[in-house]
Amino acid sequence: MTEEEHMREAIRLSVENVESGKGGPFGCVIVKDGRIIARGANEVTTTNDPTAHAEVVAIRGACKALGTFQLDGCEIYCSCEPCPMCLGAIYWARPKAIYFANTKSDAAAIDFDDQFIYEEIERPIAQRRLFTRQLLRDEALVAFEKWKTSPLKIAY
């Protein structure tokens, strides 16, 4: 399949998702060695899971299919430019490429506007809209110290 055919599948999933009433207009496919190994569509409202964006659903499926927590050598095709959460998940998954169709401006035009999240990330913690305060850092550092020296850790 070509890049365009993979993208058409992501777009098809997004359209199908709207027509079925299962969720938002977002679809994603993950490809390895030229074949689709996972598909995802937005499942936020059907699963009551705000993290169930098409990209996250597809990443979970691809990692399960490959038996790994990284998507080395994979390409991700998104029907829309990934939101901040999905972009973070994609970077953590470490694919070799991302392709997208609709832009974040296109999404904002239909009330999926993530610009406020990008702006919040740039603000100092005390100036963010969501109340945030650090607690018990010294106690929490114990886990980090144990991780640093653990012979059981798998780096990622």
**CA–CA separation, 76 vs 58, rounded Å?**
9
pLDDT category at 156 given cuts 50, 70, 90 is confident
User: Exposed, middle or buried by CB within 10 Å (0-12, 13-18, 19+), for 137?
Assistant: exposed
Across the range 103-118, mean pLDDT stands at 93
- pLDDT tens digit sequence for 16-48: 999 999 999 999 999 999 999 999 999 999 999
- pLDDT tens digit sequence for 82-96: 999 999 999 999 999
Please give the positions annotated as active site. 55
Q: What is the pLDDT of residue 89?
A: 98
- pLDDT tens digit sequence for 136-153: 999 999 999 999 999 999
Tokens of 62: 């691809």
Q: Does 113 score more than 90 pLDDT? A: no
